[in-house]
Each structure stands twice: as C-alpha cells, then as structure tokens.
Amino acid sequence: MAKLKVEFVEGWTGPLDFQLLNDGVMQDLTTMTVTGQARNRLNALVDLSSDVAILTATEGKVRLTPDATDFDNALSPYELRFKVVDATTAVVFFPSGEAVTLIVRP
C-alpha cells in the first residue's frame, strides 16, 4: 500500500477525514478513544488536543479538525498517526507502518 500524503494550506481549519484500517480491515473504534499525534520535520510533537473525533466507530472513521496554528509551512512536512486506546488501556497506533505525511503549503 502506498504511503498516504495529504496536502493543505497553512491556517487550514477544515475537517480532514481518515479511515483507520487494521490489516486492510476497518478498525471498529467502539469503546475506544482516539487522539492525533503529529511531529514536524524537527521531530517536535504538535499539540492536537481535542482536534480528533470519531465519526463512525464501526467503520473506523475519524476526523481531524486542526486549529489555525497547529501546522506551520516552515516546519512541514509533518508525520501523523492516530493513537487508539481500548477499554483495557491497550495502546495501538494507526498507521503502524509509515506515518501519514502532511504537506503544509504557504
């Protein structure tokens, strides 16, 4: 599977939708919590607190709605993963392989 690349303009606050897959199968997110974790080109963590919501739990669909200052063109590209915690507090990341690349344009 090809690495996912998403491009948007600095200051973007519109929704970005993703589907979390586990070995090609939709991950059921019922009873799970999902947060976003992004790192800029300097490997610094970006605060995405409260920017991720589950859209359709049974289909693994999530929405990232960034704040206007979350992603800076000068620090692009970013790598994005979703941290998923289940009811037993087990932690997994999607994708588990190469992260989603976020390209921020001026």
Mark the ranges of the chain whose per-residue pLDDT is less than 50: 1
Pairing outcome for strands 100-105 and 5-9:
parallel
**pTM, entire model:** 0.93
Q: 3-29, pLDDT tens digit by residue?
A: 899 999 999 999 999 999 999 999 999
Tokens found for residue 46: 């970006």
pLDDT computed for residue 15 by the predictor: 98
